[in-house]
Chains A and B, each alone.
Chain A
Amino acid sequence: MNTATKDLLYKMADDAFIIGHRNSEWTGIGPMLEEDLAFSSMAQDKIGHAWALYKILNEQFGEADADVLGFQRKANDFKCCQFVELPIGEYDFSLVRHFLFDHAEYLRYEALSESSFEPLALLAKKIKSEIKYHTMHADTLLRQLANGSEEAKARIQNALNYSWHFALGIFEESSAENELISNKVFIGEDALKSQWIEKVSSIIDAAGLKVPVTENTKIILGGRKGTHSEYLQPLLTEMTEVLASDPNAEW
C-alpha cells in the first residue's frame, strides 16, 4: 500500500513543482500588470503545494527532506506528466495549460479530501480552496479572450488543440491503481479523467470554442514512469545551478 500511496504523492508533488516553476517564469513579463500578479500567485501556490506534498513523503514515509526531493533528484526519478515540462511558450499556451491542468487538480483534490489517507485528505481540503481560485481565473479569462477578438479566439483554440493530448497524459495510470481505489485512498485516474473531460468540455463549449477530438493513440504518456520530454533535464539543471555551485553550503 505504501508504495502505491508514495507513487501518488510523488506524481502530484512533481506535477505541482514543475508547473509552478514553469509558470513562475512569467513573473515580471506577463501581458498586463494585474494578470502578471495573478499568474505569479498561482505559480507560488503550486510550488507551495509541492512543498507540502514532499513534506508528507518525508514525515509519513521517511523519504528525504522536501528540499532534497525537490532540488536533488535525477530527471528519471521525477513522476510528473510531460505536459507540465513544456516551456511556457506564448501566453495562449501557458493560459490554456493552466486551464486544463487546474481543472484536473481541482477535481483531484476534491476527490482526495475524502481520502482514507488522512494526511493527504487534510491537505486536500486546504489546497482545494486555492485551486478553486485558479480555475475561476482560468475560466474567466478564457471566456473573455475567446469572446474578445478573432485573434484571441484563434490563439486559444490552437493552444487547446496543441495541448489536448498532452493534458490527457495527466491521467496516465500507475501500476498500483486498483490498490489505491480499493483502499479508498483515491478514486483512480480513469474516474478522474471522465469527470475532467465533462467539466472542461462544458466550459470550452460555453466559451464558443471547440473541444478537441480525443485520439487515444496520440495521448502523451510516460511521465508517470520516469520517461520525460527533452525539456525536463535542462529545467532541472537550470533550477539547481546555485545549489550545485556549493553543495555543502546552507542557502
Chain B
Amino acid sequence: METNKSLDPRVQRLNIGAQNGEANIETHLVTWEVFHQEKKGKQAVHVGIVHASSPELALVYAKEVYGRRGKTTNLWVVKTSDIFTFTPEDEDVFNTAPEKLYREAGYYKVRDRIEAFQKRNKETA
C-alpha cells in the first residue's frame, strides 16, 4: 500500500498494509429503536436506531447519535425485535376511523339551535 505517502499524518501512523479488506457479513449487531424526549412534559418520539450489544450500551450510543445537539431530557431504547406493529396488509383496519364523526368534537354544533331557541323565546315573550 502506498499510504505512507498519505497527506494525513494520522493515516501515516496507521499500520496499513496487512488488511485483506473483507468485511464480515455473517454476523450482525442487534439493533435498538431509539425514542427521544426533548423535555419533560413532551412525548418520547422515535428517531432511529443504533447498533449495540446491550440496552446499556445502546443508551450510551444513542446519547451521542441522537442527543449531541439541541435539548434532550431522556432517551428510551427498545430492541427492534421486541416491537410489534400492524402489517401493511392490515393497515386498512384504520381506514374508516376518520369517517366516524360522532367521535369528533367538531361534529357537535348546537350554536344555531340555541340561537333559534332564544329567538323563539323572545318572540313569544
Contact = CB atoms under 8 A, between A and B. Distances in A.
Interface of A: 25, 29, 32-35, 37-38, 41, 87-88, 133, 136-137, 140-141, 144, 148, 238
B5 interface: no
B68 interface: yes
A148 B56 CA distance: 14
Contacts of B10: 25, 29
Q: Is the interface of A mostly helix, strand, loop or mixed?
A: helix
Interface of B: 9-10, 13-14, 29, 50-54, 56-57, 60-61, 63-65, 68
Contact of A141 (B51, B60, B64, B65): B60
Given A38-B60, A137-B60, A148 B65 contact: no
A32 B60 CA distance: 14
B121 to A, nearest CB: 67
Nearest to A42: B64
Nearest to B15: A90
A141 B53 CA distance: 10
A38 B65 CA distance: 8
Contacts of A144: 53-54, 56-57
Contacts of A25: 10, 13
Nearest to B68: A41
Nearest to B54: A144
20 contacts: A25-B13, A29-B10, A29-B14, A32-B29, A32-B51, A34-B50, A34-B64, A34-B65, A37-B61, A37-B64, A38-B64, A41-B68, A87-B13, A88-B13, A137-B60, A140-B54, A140-B56, A140-B57, A144-B53, A144-B56
A32 B64 CA distance: 13
A148 B53 contact: yes
Task: Kindly name the residue among B9, B53, B61 whose own CB sees the greatest number of chain A CB atoms within 10 A.
Answer: B61
B60 A136 contact: yes
A71 B53 CA distance: 40
Nearest to A239: B9
Given A37-B65, A140-B56, A144-B54, 20 more contacts: A29-B14, A32-B29, A33-B51, A34-B51, A34-B52, A34-B61, A34-B64, A37-B61, A38-B60, A41-B64, A41-B68, A87-B13, A133-B60, A136-B60, A140-B54, A140-B60, A144-B53, A144-B56, A144-B57, A238-B9
Contacts of A41: 64, 68
Contacts of B60: 38, 133, 136-137, 140-141
A39 to B, nearest CB: 9
A116 B10 CA distance: 41
A35 B68 contact: no
Contacts of A32: 29, 51
A99 to B, nearest CB: 13
Nearest to A38: B64
Residue from A87, A140, A148, A238 with most neighbouring chain B CB atoms (10 Å): A140
A37 B51 contact: no
Q: Interface centre among B9, B10, B54, B60, by most A CB within 10 Å?
A: B60
